[in-house]
Structure formats: structure tokens, C-alpha cells
Structure 1
Amino acid sequence: MEYQEPLFFQLMQYASRSDHPDVIDMVSGNPDWGSPDGIGEGLHEYADFGGERFQYPPSEGLRDLREEVAERRNVPVEQVIITNGGGMANTLGMGRALERGSGDEVVMTDPVYPYYPGKTTMLGGEQRFVPVGADGSLDPDDVRDVASEDTACIVVNTPNNPTGKVYSEETLGELVAIAEEYDAILVSDEVYDHFDFTGEFTSALEFDSEHRIVTNSFSKTFAITGFRVGYAVVPDPHVDAVRARNMLTNVATTRPGQYAVLHALQTTDPAYYEANREELRERVDTFTDALDAADAEYTRPEGAFYVMAKFPDFPGTLENVYDLVDEAGVAGMPGNGFGDSADEWVRFALVTPRVEEAADRLADYFA
């Protein structure tokens, strides 16, 4: 996939200019259920500090937040680097993998979150793709078949965007082993870990290895995509290099945002997370019922909040998705934006209270 402006922005811009009077946005992953009270409370409290508290934070992040993350993830605080969102954490992890001189290839799935191939090209790497099963499952043997002495990095995302697959403990363990075998680094993007519907999510942190970097973000968890607060857990041999790259490219991320996230972590009841998962389970049921009425094939997510749908005689091209915007008033993502294997599909983000209305519109359009 070529490095280019992601189609997300093109679709949102097109939808905003559409002649349709009321377009339902199912393109971007901006949660609509609102942040926990701790976010606003933390910001209000921070606003009164002034002085030193408004200056640069430590490049690796506020110590208190790093300690909170380290305790929750059962890792040394020295391995936690707070980043400018999960996107920066992934860039740091992939950059570290590619700069070590152990290869220039980045192995990733097809379909794939399109920022990974874009980052690969931007960082000077070569893209290699591994197909996944019809249910989104990833066979480690397929990864091993593609991996070679030129493999610098393996990038995975669990729960997965766009397929919704939650990778098993066995799969994650095998991926770590493959990274070790080829002196590569597994970058495991776990930004949707709080949106696991199976109860069986496994983090790559379960495997103690110098060949895995785990990335995450509070953007989806706390519905604060505009805050840009994420983190990477980096094994000791790579910490200094990743910290230096973070400082050189980003300096640091928002101090007020870090403080608010820390306050929310310390005050948010587990019921907040479960209520959001339950809301998403209901939306999946509602949306897929309507897709049945539209005679569509679809993926039923095990995690995250995306559904891939394939409609009869309706390839997932940008032009067809534009037609959905103009004629049905529903904006989704063209499948071919996620790779060759998804070119017959359209991806929908279930982060709108109007899921049922959107589903009815699609059912009417394809009736």
C-alpha cells in the first residue's frame, strides 16, 4: 500500500460536503459515549496549578502516570514511555525495529489498519503482508512463512481493526517466538483492549521478551481521541533509543492531558468500561440484524467496534462508498483502504447512537 493521506479524512470531508441532508458518520473511530467524570475533574483541577505545571513535562511522561501504568501492566516503570497517542507509540516501536540494522521488512496482516503500511514506508521499510482467515484469525505459521532474515518488525493489532478479531494467547506467544527467531521486534498495538467481548484477551506483555514492544492509548478507552495520550512498554535494551527518538520527534505529549488521564485511571469505576462494552454488544446485534435483511455477509467482531460488510454486487471501492453517502446517507470506509483482501468489503464504525437508523438505511438501499 502506498504512503498517502488516509482515506478516513477523504471520506469525512466528502460526507461533510454531500448533498444528502443527514449523513450518519460510521467512518472514524471517535467514541460517542462520553468520557468518565475523572477526565473533566482532572482538567479543572489542573487548570488552577499554573507556573511550572504549564511547562514542558519530562519527555518520557509524568512520573505519576508512568507509575500508574506500570502497576496496572505489571512492568517496571522505567519501561513505560508516555507518547503522543497510540499512533506515536507505534511509530516509535516500528522505528526502533527498523533502525537496529537487523532487516528492513515489516510484516503485517491483510487486511490491515492502513497507518501501519504508511508508517513502514515513511520509516524506510518494506511492506510484507500475511493473509488472515475469513474470521480474521491470524495463523502464526503464515507469519513464519513470510518472515526471513530481512524481517525487522512484525506489527499486529488485537482486538483488531478492521476485523474485530481477538488473537489467542497461543497466537501471541508464537508471534513473540517468531520475532525472537529472526531477531525482529513484535509491535503489539492493543489500543482496543478494553473492548474485548470474549473475556479472553491476552496482551503480548504476558510474554517476557526483549523482542516485543506493546503500545496502547487512552483515546478509545476514555473517549478522548483529541487528547493524544498513549504509551509504549519497551524492553530495557531499547528504552534509551526509544526515549531519544521520542524527544527528537515529539519532545513530549500534553501535560494537562496526562494529568487528566491519571485522575481518571484512579477514579473511574469498572462499571464505566463494562457499560461501554455492553452498549457495543447491543449495537453489533442491531447492526448485523439489519445486514441480514440487506442480504450482506459480515464479520461479527470479538472486540473493538467495527463491522466489515460485503453487499451483493457492490465492491468496497471509494466510488461505491461515495454513493452510499449521497444516496443512503451512511458513511463507511471502503474495504480496499485496508488492503487487497478487503476490496469487496465496506467497514463501519459502530460509534454512533444512530446505528439502528444507519442499518435500516442500508437495508432499504440494498433491498
Structure 2
Amino acid sequence: MTAKEGDAYDSPLFYLVMQYAHRADRDVVGMVSGSPDWDPPAAVRDGLREYADGEPADFQYAPSEGLRELREEIAARRNVDSDRVVVTNGAGEANYLAMARAMERDAGDEMVLTDPVYPYYPGKAQMLDAETVTVPVATDGSLNLDSMRAAVSEDTACVVVNTPNNPTGAVYDRESVAELAALAEANDALLLVDEVYDHFDFSGRFESALTLDSENVVVTSAYSKTMAITGFRVGYAVFPDALVEAAKTRHMLVNVATSRPAQAAVLRSLRETPPEYYEAARDRLRDRIDAFTDALDAAGASYTEPDGGFYVLARFDDFPGTLDNVKTLIDEAGVAGMPGEAFGEAYDDWIRFALCTPRADDAAARLADYFSASDD
């Protein structure tokens, strides 16, 4: 997962690939990072402008657990008590807090992850001295529940899943997530469900794990993708009552608080942004996915058709998804993706492309040209 395998503190492959693309001596379409390229809601900008004229007190520490009004707004939308909500520095910190709580319970020392997996999950697990158990997903990207049942045991501290999924684009149905919650309850483990891509569900099947109302479930999310504001670092975690106070303490000791202006802008956007903003983003991504996969057909590639999120995994004949081959694509095709080996073993011969660029069509054409020429 990192520059030196087994050392969680070296530069992640994401940064190595982006740096390599930046140094290339040709034009490169970047499809590595999941940073939306479209405008944030107008209310985000309005909220920041208004905040700039605030009183001196508005520029001081926010309450550590988050602005009260923001926590109440999140709670109302997620149908939970606001005392269960901790506003965090993005979904990354929210996931860290949940995984740390799982380890602090002394109810196991293993974390069960899917394969493929977002690389920061095993990185955090290693940082917390947890053992990792990876379970390959089914061929369609859905959860392999039989394998999950075999993997979860009394040694399991936490089961971590992400839906809609990065990198497969799978949307896990409520019944499958409920089965994982039952497994966690039976083994005194936590189930962490990262729902950061919940607004990018193309299937209509997504249901939040909060509908399960389980004392063993922690749900995390953020506004980074939803509002196209990855630089704001405003996320949150919803903890069971018994776990939230210790999570708040760890959050305070590690971060003190989350950015006050960013929280205020997000709050205003939640109150004022119409549903059409989010639907426009989904429509944009649907169009990009269709155009990109059409070009992958022309390149003779196999690929995933995402039900959610904005990533496509592609496999090219005799061109496995190694870091060396990703560099070759940068140098010779002018397209930067992520090596499949960064996400585990199940898709290690695939390459992940993030469709967060208006040049997705250009990238697709370059890939089609490159692999068509390779076949000649």
C-alpha cells in the first residue's frame, strides 16, 4: 500500500503516482485522485463570504465535537440524536476514530476488510497495531457473505466496509449490511460503514446502515465529495451511545477541533442547496462513465460498471495493473490511473481511473489509441 511495503508511514502510492505524472515531460490527464472538478454549491461560497465579516469570537476554537447547529442538522438528516454525532476532519479522521474505538474495547485485535480495499483502511489498521484479514468480494463487486462469515470471529475488533464502494463502484444492499451487523453483534465487534459516496448512488438501492439501529454499528461520511470541497475537511461519525464520549475525547486530543469557517459554510449549504445540485453531479458522472466505458470497449478492455461513486476499474490484456505499467501509461499514453495492486490482490491486474476530470473523454480516447496501436 505504501512506498515501502509494511511501513504505514511512507508516502502512499497515490502521492507517488501523482508526483510521477506531475514530473512527466508531456501532457497527462490525471485520473488518480477522487477530487471533484465541478463547482461547489453556491451556498458554500456565500457562507464563507458571510463568515469573513464575523465577530472576533467567530474566529476562535469551535466546540471540539463540532458546531452545535451543524451536528443538529446532520442528526436531523440521519434520524439520530445529535449527541451521537462527532464532526471530524474529513471521513479519514472519522474512520480513524471508529477503528481506534474498536481496538480500545479489547474485544479482538483483527480488522476484517474487503479486497479490493481503499488503501487507507489497512494503513490505519497497521498504525493501530491491528492484524488485517482481507476477504475478496464477489465477482460482481458485491459482498461475499459466506467468506465474511468465515472470516469474522471472536478475534475481530472491527469489520470495515465502504458503500458505494471505492474502487469497485458496488452498492451493498441493506440485507447484506444487516448480515454484517449481525456478525459484528455475535462476535462483540464493531461494523464501520463508510458512506462518503452516498450521494453518488446510480442504482437507487443505497440505504444507510443507520437504518439498522445497531449498538455495534458506526457510520462515517463527509462533505468532501458531496459538495466538491475536499480541501475543507468536514466529515462526521455517528457512534453508538456507549462509544461516543471516548471518541470525542480522542478527537479533542488529536485535533482539538475542526475548522470553524468550513463547518459554517457546510451548514449554510445543507440548509440552502437544492436537490438539483446533487442530481446534476450524478448526471455528469453518468455521462462520463458511459463515454469512458465506450472507449474502453474500443480498447478491448474489461471494466467494472459502477452502481455508485466515480471510479472505473479496467483490465487490459497482457498489461497488469502494476506501478510500472501505470508509469508506462503516463509516459506513453498521457493518462494517469492508480495501480490495482494498491487496492489488494483481488484486482491487482486492473487499473483504477477516477472520473473527476472534464478531460475524461480525452483520456478515454488516448487509452483506446494506445492499446489499439499496441495490438498492431
**TM-score strictly above 0.5:** yes
Moved over 6 A (4+): none
1:132-211 residue pairs with structure 2 within 5 A?
132-211=137-216
Preserved CA contact (<8 Å) 1:217 1:230 = yes
Instruction: Name the Cα RMSD after superposition.
Output: 0.7
Give the superposition deviation at 1:341. Answer: 1.3
Q: Does 1:31 align with 2:44?
A: no
| CA distance in structure 2 between the partners assigned to 1:158 and 1:216 by the alignment | 10
Greater displacement, 47-56 / 263-272:
47-56
Amino acid at match of 2:21: A
How many percent of aligned residue pairs carry the same amino acid? 63
Q: Does 1:15 align with 2:43?
A: no
1:52-201 residue pairs with structure 2 within 5 A?
52-201=57-206
Give the superposition deviation at 1:199. Answer: 0.8
Q: Does 1:47 align with 2:52?
A: yes
Give the superposition deviation at 1:50. Answer: 3.1
Amino acid at match of 2:31: M
Give the superposition deviation at 1:6. Answer: 1.5
1:227 to 225, 232, 247: 232
| CA distance in structure 2 between the partners assigned to 1:134 and 1:334 by the alignment | 19
Aligned counterpart, 1:318: 323
1:260 to 260, 265, 286: 265
| CA distance in structure 1 between the partners assigned to 2:12 and 2:352 by the alignment | 14
Preserved CA contact (<8 Å) 1:164 1:306 = yes
Give the superposition deviation at 1:82. Answer: 0.3
| CA distance in structure 2 between the partners assigned to 1:155 and 1:99 by the alignment | 16
| CA distance in structure 2 between the partners assigned to 1:244 and 1:144 by the alignment | 33
Amino acid at match of 1:7: L
Q: Deviations over 1:193-215 (max 9, x none)?
A: 00000011011101011100000
| CA distance in structure 2 between the partners assigned to 1:97 and 1:341 by the alignment | 26
| CA distance in structure 1 between the partners assigned to 2:182 and 2:272 by the alignment | 37
| CA distance in structure 2 between the partners assigned to 1:190 and 1:363 by the alignment | 33
Preserved CA contact (<8 Å) 1:139 1:171 = no
| CA distance in structure 1 between the partners assigned to 2:136 and 2:118 by the alignment | 13
Count of equivalent residues: 366
Unaligned 5+ runs, structure 1: none
Preserved CA contact (<8 Å) 1:151 1:184 = yes
Q: Deviations over 1:210-235 (max 9, x none)?
A: 10000000000000000000000011
Q: Does 1:294 align with 2:293?
A: no
| CA distance in structure 2 between the partners assigned to 1:218 and 1:135 by the alignment | 28
Unaligned 5+ runs, structure 2: none
| CA distance in structure 2 between the partners assigned to 1:208 and 1:265 by the alignment | 24
Greater displacement, 138-147 / 239-248:
138-147
Preserved CA contact (<8 Å) 1:306 1:347 = yes
| CA distance in structure 1 between the partners assigned to 2:36 and 2:134 by the alignment | 29
Amino acid at match of 1:190: E
User: TM-score, normalized by length of structure 1?
Assistant: 0.99
Give the superposition deviation at 1:182. Answer: 0.5
Give the superposition deviation at 1:358. Answer: 0.4
- SS of 1:341's equivalent in the other structure is coil
Give the superposition deviation at 1:141. Answer: 2.2
User: TM-score, normalized by length of structure 2?
Assistant: 0.96
| CA distance in structure 1 between the partners assigned to 2:271 and 2:145 by the alignment | 37
